[in-house]
Amino acid sequence: MIKKADLAPPPAELPGEAVQARRFEKARSAQASAVLEDYVELIDDLLANGGEARPTDIARRLGVTHATAIKTITRLKREGLATSKLYRGVFLTPEGHGLADRVRARHRLVVDLLRAVGVPEQCAELDAEGIEHHVSDAALDAFARFLKGWGPLP
């Protein structure tokens, strides 16, 4: 009888401590940025579609509590990405708009790559929500080069 251990590849060599620490730091940093990126992208979409981005709407659309949305909006303001007006909701600064544009373009590129390799559209959209925050600029450039030779997507 073949055991699972017989089929498993041998354990890989561990990278050096500094290399491994950099890898984990990159992942932690991407996770911290992902929240802000999701918020600015959503705020930008709400402003473009309805002219208003209220904390209540943001919380509902992101599936978080109102308190969580308020806390993150405060962080956006502290980072210079958003402003708010009493009884008027949240607005993006020029820096916030720029970040939303970059996140949206990154999302689109990841979706297009996933579609090009055969991932169904709905699945590609869902998967891109996580991948877009963790992919490097070098990988994005490679994705774009690959897609240029691929032609239009179905």
Contact 39, 93 (CB under 8 A): no
Helix axes 17-50, 55-62, angle to 10 degrees: 120
Query: Which pLDDT does position 96 carry in this prediction?
Result: 97
Q: Which residue has the higher pLDDT, 31 or 139?
A: 139
- Answer yes or no: are the C-beta atoms of 18 and 125 closer than 8 Å: no
- The structure's pTM equals 0.76
Number of separate domains in the chain: 2
Residue entry with tokens 């911290």:
32
- Domain match, 33 and 65 both: yes
Whether 127 and 86 share a structural domain: no
Asked which of 67, 94, 121 is the last residue of a domain, the reply is 94
What is the 3-class SS of the chain, one letter each residue?
Answer: CCCHHHHCCCCCCCCCHHHHHHHHHHHHHHHHHHHHHHHHHHHHHHHHHHCCCCHHHHHHHHCCCHHHHHHHHHHHHHCCCEEEECCCEEEECHHHHHHHHHHHHHHHHHHHHHHHCCCCHHHHHHHHHHHCCCCCHHHHHHHHHHHHCCCCCC
Contact 83, 91 (CB under 8 A): yes
pLDDT (tens digit per residue) in 128-143:
988 988 888 888 988 9
Share of residues in the chain with pLDDT > 70 (%)? 86
Of 102, 42, 30, 51, nearest to 73 by C-alpha is 42
pLDDT in tens, 58-117: 999 999 999 999 999 999 999 999 999 888 899 999 999 999 999 999 999 999 999 999
Residue 154 lies in a domain: no
Domain that holds residue 138: 98-148
Q: Which residue has the higher pLDDT, 5 or 33?
A: 33
pLDDT > 60? residue 152: no
Instruction: For residue 16, tell me if it sits in a domain.
Output: no
Same domain, 86 and 116: no
Average pLDDT value for the chain: 87
